Amino acid sequence: MSSIIQLLPDHVANQIAAGEVVQRPASVVKELLENAVDAKATDIKLVVKDAGKSLVQVIDNGVGMSVTDARLCFERHATSKIRLAEDLFSLHTKGFRGEALASIAAIAHVEMNTRQEQDELGTHLIIEGSKFVTQEPAVLAVGTSFMVKNLFYNIPARRNFLKSDTVEFRHVMDEFQRVVLAHPSISFSMYHNGSEMFNLPSSNFRQRIVNVFSGKTNEKLVPVQEETDILTIQGFVGKPEFAKKNRGEQFFFVNDRYIKSGYLHHAVMAAYEGLLKEGAQPSYFLYLQVPPNTIDINIHPTKTEIKFDDEHALYAILRSTVKHSLGQFNVVPALDFDRDPNLDTPYQYQNKAAEYPTVQVDRDYNPFAPSQPSKSFSGGGSSYKKPESQTSWESLYVGLKQDTIEVDQFSFENEVVTASLFDEKEEEQVVNSTYQIHKKYIVSPIKSGMVIIDQSRAHQRVLYEQFLTNMTVHQASSQQLLFPLHLHFSANEMELLHELKPSLENTGFVFEEMAEDSVHISGIPVNTSESEASIVLEQLISDLHDGIPESSFSQNDTIAKSMAKSLAVKTGTYLTEKEQENLVNNLFACKEPDVSPFQKPTFITMRVEDIDKRFAL
C-alpha cells in the first residue's frame, strides 16, 4: 500500500500559509507598515489603489536591507526577531522583514527596492507567485519600498470573496489608524487612488489622535496617567457626553501593539458606570506598558489578542485609573463664571453715592369723591397729575348692540352653540377606542376580541415603509433648518457618508457641504427633530460598519431599517389618545403590518372565547 502522507511543494505550502496570514488587502497593509516601523523609519508613506486590490505600496526611510537580507526575507520561516524558542515569550519588536512576506509573495506580484545607508547601490527585486523573476543592483534612495500588486491573482476563488472597494478600504483605514496611533513620533501619509487621505506629522499622543479623528476631538479627551510596578498606563478617554452608539474610537495598545480585549474593555465600561446612557460607547485611547515576559502575543494569528499573566490586577488598576481621571478632571458640565463687562459700574459713577428718591403723598385725595379738583404732586424728580373724572361714562357704550342678558349686577354675552363634531355616543367611542398599558403596548378592541400592539415595533414598521417609499420614488419631504447643523465625523465615517449621500437625500436630508471631517446639514426629514439628526446618522454608521450592500435596493432597505429604529417611539414614551389612534391606523395601512422591519411581531390578538376560557378555569 502506498503512503498517504506526503510533503507539499513549496509554492502550495506558501499559498496555504497565505490564507492564514493574508485575509484581505488590509492584512498586507498591516504587515508592511509594521515592518517599516521596525526598520526605524521616521517617515512612512502608504499608497493604495482600488482599496488595495490592485496596489499596496509602502515606502519608508528606514535602515534598508543588504543583498542577502533582501533575498532571505521572502523565504519561509525567515524572521528577524526569533533566535531561540525562549524569544517567543520576550518579543520587543513587530518583526523586521520576514515571516509574512513569503506568504504575500505567494499570492501577488511583489516588487521591492531597498538600500542601506553605507551602500552605494541598492537591490531591485521582483517576485511573482513565489518565483524570483529578477534581482539586480540599482540606484535607490536609502530605505525600502514594497509594491504588492494584483493580490490573489493566482487564487481567483479567494479574490471573489473580497467585499466591495468601500468595505475593503475601510479595513485598510482601520489598520492604518491602528499603526499611526501606536507610533505618534513617526510621520505618516496615505494616498488612495491618487488622493491624499492623511498627512500626519511627527507629534505627541494627543495631537496624533486629534489629527486622525478631526479637530473637535481635542475637547472630548480626558488624560489618563498611572504608573505601577506591573503596569504603566497613559492615554486619553472621552467625556461621557460625547459617547456614541458605535465602538469605532476604542483603542488599546500594549507595548506599542494594537490589541482587542473584551476583559479590559469591561474594566473601562465599569469606570463609566452611571455616567453613560444605555447603549452608549465611550471613546478611549489607552497605551499600556507591561514587561514582555508577562504576556503571550502568539495566541492569535493576527496577534490582536494577548494573554496576560495577572489579568485581575490589570483590570483593577485600569478601572480605578480611568475612574480617577474622570473625577479629577471634572467631566460634569461646569458653570460659566466669566464676568460680563456690560454689568460693570460706569467709571464716572464708581465713587459717587447713590441718591435715594423722595416720595410725597397727597393724604387729602379721595378717589371715591364725586368730583375732585385736580392736584399734582411730585416725588423723586417726577410729577403725577390725576386725570379728570369722567362723569358720563355711560356715553362710551352708546351705539353698541344690546345683546346681553342682565343677571343682577353682572352681564354675560350670548354664545352661539354650534353642533358638536361627534355625537355623544360617537365621541365616547373615539375616546375609549385605544388604551396604553405600561407605556409600551396599545390595546384596541375589535369585533372578535382585542388587539395588543407593541408601540415601538409598530412605529418602526410605519417609518420603514415611509422611508423605503420615499427612497424608491425620490419624492421625500424635507424641513429646512433656520441654522444649519454642523456635525463632525472621523475620516472613516465621512467616507461612508459620501457613499450614502444619494440615498440619504432621498429620505429628506439636505447636505449643504461635506468637508474632510464634518458635514453641514440644512434640511432633515419631516417629523425629525434637530437633536435626532446626529443620532440617526451615528446609528446608521454603526449599522453599516461591517459593509454597505452593493445593490441599491439592499442599500435602501438597510438605511430605511436603521432610520426607522432610531426615530421610532421608544418603550416608556407616553402617547396621547390621538397619537395612539393615529399609530394604529397607520400600522394597518402598511403592506406588512404584522411584523416589524426586523421580522418581529408587531401585534397579537386575543379572542373573546380565549378570555372566556381563562375565566372558566
CATH code where residue 90 lies: 3.30.565.10
**pLDDT confidence of residue 197:** 87
Would 539 be classed as within a structural domain? yes
Q: Which residues contact 401 (CB under 8 A, 6 or more apart)?
A: none
Helix/strand/coil for 308:
strand
**pLDDT confidence of residue 340:** 59
Kindly indicate the confidence band of residue 549, based on its pLDDT and cuts at 50, 70 and 90: low
Domain boundary at 171, 200, 229, which? 200
Domain boundary at 270, 302, 328, which? 328
Would 380 be classed as within a structural domain? no
Helix/strand/coil for 7:
coil
pLDDT at 405 over 90: no
**pLDDT confidence of residue 380:** 46
The span from the CA of 363 to the CA of 418, in Å, is: 55
- Residues 367-376 have a mean pLDDT of 64
**pLDDT confidence of residue 431:** 45
Would 233 be classed as within a structural domain? yes
**pLDDT confidence of residue 155:** 84
- Looking at per-residue pLDDT, the higher value among 377 and 582 belongs to 582
pLDDT at 379 over 50: no
- Residues 118-143 have a mean pLDDT of 90
**pLDDT confidence of residue 58:** 95
526 and 573, same structural domain?
Answer: yes
Helix/strand/coil for 404:
strand
539 and 459, same structural domain?
Answer: yes
Kindly write down the DSSP assignment for every residue of 166-211, as one continuous string: HHHHHHHHHHHHHHHHH-TTSEEEEEETTEEEEEE-S--HHHHHHH
Would 569 be classed as within a structural domain? yes
567 and 459, same structural domain?
Answer: yes
**pLDDT confidence of residue 234:** 92
C-beta separation of 170 from 491 below 8 A: no
pLDDT at 368 over 90: no
Q: What angle do CA 209, 213, 218 make, to 5 degrees?
A: 60
- Please write the tens of the pLDDT for every residue from 476-488: 778 888 888 888 8
**pLDDT confidence of residue 458:** 93
Helix/strand/coil for 24:
coil
Helix 530-543 vs helix 552-567: angle between axes, to the nearest 10 degrees? Answer: 130
**pLDDT confidence of residue 21:** 66
**pLDDT confidence of residue 535:** 82
Helix 455-473 vs helix 491-507: angle between axes, to the nearest 10 degrees? Answer: 80
pLDDT at 246 over 60: yes
- Please write the tens of the pLDDT for every residue from 387-403: 555 555 566 666 655 55
Kindly indicate the confidence band of residue 344, based on its pLDDT and cuts at 50, 70 and 90: low
The span from the CA of 133 to the CA of 125, in Å, is: 8
**pLDDT confidence of residue 55:** 93
- Looking at per-residue pLDDT, the higher value among 4 and 301 belongs to 4
Q: Mean pLDDT: which of 45-49, 383-387, 501-505, 545-549 is highest? A: 45-49
**pLDDT confidence of residue 519:** 87
**pLDDT confidence of residue 397:** 62
C-beta separation of 156 from 191 below 8 A: no
| Secondary structure string (H, E, C) spanning 313-353 | HHHHHHHHHHHHHHHHCCCCCCCCCCCCHHHCCCHHHCCCC
Among 372-381, 387-396, 495-504, 583-592, name the one with the lowest average pLDDT: 372-381
pLDDT at 335 over 50: no
For β-strands 43-49 and 187-192, DSSP reports them as parallel
**pLDDT confidence of residue 402:** 54
297 and 177, same structural domain?
Answer: no
pLDDT at 345 over 70: no
pLDDT at 267 over 60: yes
253 and 184, same structural domain?
Answer: no
The span from the CA of 129 to the CA of 476, in Å, is: 52
134 and 40, same structural domain?
Answer: yes
pLDDT at 421 over 50: no
Among 83-97, 290-304, 521-535, 556-570, name the one with the lowest average pLDDT: 83-97
The span from the CA of 402 to the CA of 398, in Å, is: 10
Q: Tell me which amino acid residue 362 is.
A: D
CATH code where residue 510 lies: 3.30.1370.100
Kindly indicate the confidence band of residue 516, based on its pLDDT and cuts at 50, 70 and 90: confident
Helix/strand/coil for 254:
strand
**pLDDT confidence of residue 13:** 62
CA dihedral 27, 33, 36, 42 (to 10 degrees): 180
- Residues 428-434 have a mean pLDDT of 56
- Please write the tens of the pLDDT for every residue from 590-605: 999 999 998 899 999 9
Q: Tell me which amino acid residue 164 is.
A: S
Among 90-94, 112-116, 202-206, 355-359, name the one with the lowest average pLDDT: 90-94
Would 357 be classed as within a structural domain? no
Helix/strand/coil for 34:
helix
pLDDT at 430 over 50: no
Q: Which residues contact 596 (CB under 8 A, 6 or more apart)?
A: 454, 457, 458, 460, 461, 464, 602
Would 67 be classed as within a structural domain? yes
173 and 221, same structural domain?
Answer: no
143 and 79, same structural domain?
Answer: yes
**pLDDT confidence of residue 123:** 92
The span from the CA of 261 to the CA of 537, in Å, is: 27
Domain boundary at 181, 200, 219, which? 200
| Secondary structure string (H, E, C) spanning 213-232 | CCHHHHHHEEEEEEECCCCE
288 and 159, same structural domain?
Answer: no
- Please write the tens of the pLDDT for every residue from 16-47: 555 556 888 999 999 999 989 988 999 999 99
- Looking at per-residue pLDDT, the higher value among 348 and 352 belongs to 352
pLDDT at 301 over 70: no
Q: For residue 495, how many other CB atoms are within 10 A of its CB?
A: 17
The domain of 244 spans 205-328
Would 267 be classed as within a structural domain? yes
**pLDDT confidence of residue 333:** 46
536, exposed or middle or buried, with CB in 10 Å at 0-12, 13-18, 19+?
buried
Write down how long the chain is: 617
Q: Give the chain's domain count.
A: 3
**pLDDT confidence of residue 398:** 61
Q: Tell me which amino acid residue 303 is.
A: K
219 and 124, same structural domain?
Answer: no
CATH code where residue 324 lies: 3.30.230.10
210 and 182, same structural domain?
Answer: no
210 and 63, same structural domain?
Answer: no
Kindly indicate the confidence band of residue 452, based on its pLDDT and cuts at 50, 70 and 90: very high
- Least Cα distance to 192 among 25, 42, 356, 324 occurs for 25
**pLDDT confidence of residue 422:** 47
B/e letters for 558-567, b = 16+ CB within 10 Å, e = fewer, are bbbbbbbbbb
**pLDDT confidence of residue 59:** 94
The span from the CA of 223 to the CA of 242, in Å, is: 15
Would 398 be classed as within a structural domain? no
**pLDDT confidence of residue 20:** 54
β-pair partners for 582: none
- Residues 499-506 have a mean pLDDT of 84
**pLDDT confidence of residue 103:** 83
